[in-house]
A and B are shown apart, each in its own frame.
Chain A
Amino acid sequence: DTGVSQDPRHKITKRGQNVTFRCDPISEHNRLYWYRQTLGQGPEFLTYFQNEAQLEKSRLLSDRFSAERPKGSFSTLEIQRTEQGDSAMYLCASSIPRDGINEQFFGPGTRLTVL
Chain B
Amino acid sequence: AQSVTQLDSHVSVSEGTPVLLRCNYSSSYSPSLFWYVQHPNKGLQLLLKYTSAATLVKGINGFEAEFKKSETSFHLTKPSAHMSDAAEYFCVVSEAQAGTALIFGKGTTLSVSS
A residues apposed to B, CB below 8 Å: 3-4, 31, 33, 35, 40-45, 48, 56, 58, 91, 93, 95, 100-109
CA distance A100 to B105 in the complex (A): 22
In the bound complex, CA of A58 to CA of B99 (Å): 11
Q: Which residues of A contact B78 (CB under 8 A)?
A: none
Q: Contact check, B101 vs A33: say whether CB atoms are below 8 A apart.
A: yes
B interface residues, how many (CB within 8 angstroms): 24
Cα(A104)–Cα(B45), bound, Å: 10
| Nearest CB on B from A6, distance (A) | 9
Q: Are A56 and B104 within 8 A (Cβ)?
A: no
Is A102 a contact of B99 with CB atoms below 8 Å?
Answer: no
Interface of B is mostly: strand
Chain B positions within 8 Å of A, measured between CB atoms, are: 4, 32, 34, 36, 42-46, 49, 51, 90, 92, 94, 96, 99-107
Inter-chain contact A42/B106, CB cutoff 8 Å: yes
Residue in A40, A43, A56 whose CB lies within 8 Å of B99: A56
Most buried by A among B43, B49, B107: B43
Q: A106 to B49, Cβ gap below 8 A?
A: no
Among B4, B45, B94, B103, point to the contact of A102 (Cβ < 8 A): B94
Residues of A within 8 A of B36 (CB): 106
Closest chain A residue to B105 by CB distance? A42
